[in-house]
Chains A and B, each alone.
Chain A
Amino acid sequence: MAAVRNLKKVGHRVIEAIWRIGFASRFLLLILLNSGPSFKRFRLVVKELYFTGVMSLIIILVAGLFVGIVLGLQGYEVLKSYGSESALGQLVALSLVRELGPVLAALLFAGRAGSAMTAEIGLMKASEQLAAMDMMAVSPVARVVAPRFWAGVISMPILATIFSAIGVFGGYLVGVVYIGVDEGSFWSQMQGAVDFQHDILNGMLKSFVFGIAVTVISLFEGFDAPPTAEGVSRATTRTVVESSLIILLLDVVLTAFMFRGN
């Protein structure tokens, strides 16, 4: 009997998950349909850009610098054994622009801005602000959700680009200034290896996709949260866990399409 009950539980969870995926897709459609007002009153988006983009800038700058420094140190150790220290610039730039920039910036963004979005919308729902808006014939999706969505989608590629640029600077600090790799070959090998379209634009495309995924998950979790303190706290946790997993999953898919050994 216990086996049947467990089986029931598993089935229930699977159906619940599929249900939520369907609901989230409908929610994305609803956001897109209600995006008109956020562009007519772009001020709403600007305000959210400040909270999601500008406020995430510090963590992105610091993290990017540290990641670049570590890449420089570790990369040098490995390249030294092949006698090709001059390829350090290439290693640092390619790993940042293709992978680490978009992925780490998105993970940080999910932790910094995504969780805040979930908590904010969840609390608005719990304190019945969204219901009050509905009563005043103001669509909460158009007024609260859509501006946050567009702010997240706009700021994610910007943050990833800044992350990559500052990371390359960190690699330069360690490689050229601290260790003493030749500056000329550091930059020229980098420029020889990094292609604008293939590497930089594909990296930005990745971060754009991550931006959509993270913001939709954050907003949906907030919108769907049970209107209790516990419900909001659980929704915030779920936002970070789900966005991180989705970012890494999407990264596998996108990388397979973009950089398939050619």
Chain B
Amino acid sequence: MERTTWDLWVGAFVVAGVLALTILAFKVGNLGTYNASETYTLKTSFTNIGGLKATAGVRSAGVLIGRVTEIKLNPQRYEAEVTLSIDKRYLFPKDSLVSILTSGLLGEQYIGLKPGADDDMLKNGDAIKQSRSALVLEDLIGQVVANKAENAK
């Protein structure tokens, strides 16, 4: 097998393709931002999740520490059950508070995890008891209107 200049060019072409895919995966895509290999799962429930989607981020103090893996409706209590997968490096006290927050005014929704003060830590499969639901703009406006009506009396 003798080498030709074609081999060189085709090799460069393939390398350029692999390079482009790497850039797409790590710089454009989410493969570099969060490594999902070592995680543990936590469960929680909300009365209203607003526009939260699976694969939304979980942040504590603004740092991305995990993702929402599953959202389903509990048919007995009519609450949204949300499963989170959290990076193994980060442990949280049992009385931590989860809330659904919005990044910016029109940005996407994510889950905020505020640590409590308990000495016991949450383990794999545990449920977080304290949760605060998403802010739904219609409810908020409804409350404001109702308050106005009260005051006017």
Contacts and interface: CB of A to CB of B under 8 A. Distances in A.
Interface of A: 43, 46-47, 49-50, 53-54, 57, 82-84, 86, 93, 97, 155, 157-159, 161-162, 164-166, 168, 187, 190-192, 194-196, 199-200, 204
Nearest to A56: B13
Given A84-B104, A200-B29, A164 B20 contact: yes
B28 A190 contact: yes
B23 A165 contact: yes
Contact of A158 (B7, B13, B57, B108): B13
Interface string B1-37: 1000011011011101101110111011111110000
B29 A161 contact: no
Contact of B13 (A47, A53, A196, A199): A53
Given A46-B7, A50-B6, A196-B25, 9 more contacts: A50-B9, A83-B105, A162-B17, A164-B20, A165-B21, A168-B24, A192-B108, A200-B21, A200-B24
Given A50-B6, A53-B10, A54-B13, A194 B20 contact: no
A47 B24 CA distance: 28
B74 interface: no
B106 interface: yes
Secondary structure at chain A's binding surface: helix, strand, loop or mixed? helix
Q: 8 nearest interchain CB pairs?
A: A158-B17, A165-B20, A196-B29, A161-B20, A162-B20, A50-B6, A194-B29, A196-B31
Nearest to B14: A158
Contacts of B104: 84, 86
Contacts of B23: 165, 168
7 contacts: A46-B6, A53-B13, A54-B10, A57-B13, A168-B23, A195-B55, A196-B29
A82 B106 contact: yes
A195 B106 contact: no
Contacts, number: 88
A194 B30 contact: yes
Contacts of A97: 24, 28-29
Contacts of A165: 19-21, 23-24, 28
Given A191-B30, A192-B30, A199-B29, A164 B7 contact: no
A196 B30 contact: yes
Given A191-B29, A192-B30, A161 B14 contact: no
A84 B102 CA distance: 14
Given A161-B21, A191-B28, A57 B16 contact: yes
A157 B16 CA distance: 12
A200 B13 contact: no
Contacts of B25: 196, 200
Contacts of A86: 104
Contacts of A164: 20, 24, 28
Nearest to B55: A195
A178 B19 CA distance: 25
Nearest to B23: A165
Nearest to A61: B16
Contact of A49 (B13, B105, B107): B13
Contacts of B31: 196
A56 B104 CA distance: 42
Instruction: Name the residue in A83, A155, A187, A192 with the highest tally of chain B Cβ atoms < 10 Å from its Cβ.
Output: A192
B10 to A, nearest CB: 5
A54 B15 CA distance: 11
A53 B20 CA distance: 15
Contacts of B12: 54
A57 B55 CA distance: 35
A164 B21 CA distance: 9
Instruction: Name the residue in B12, B24, B57 with the highest tally of chain A Cβ atoms < 10 Å from its Cβ.
Output: B24
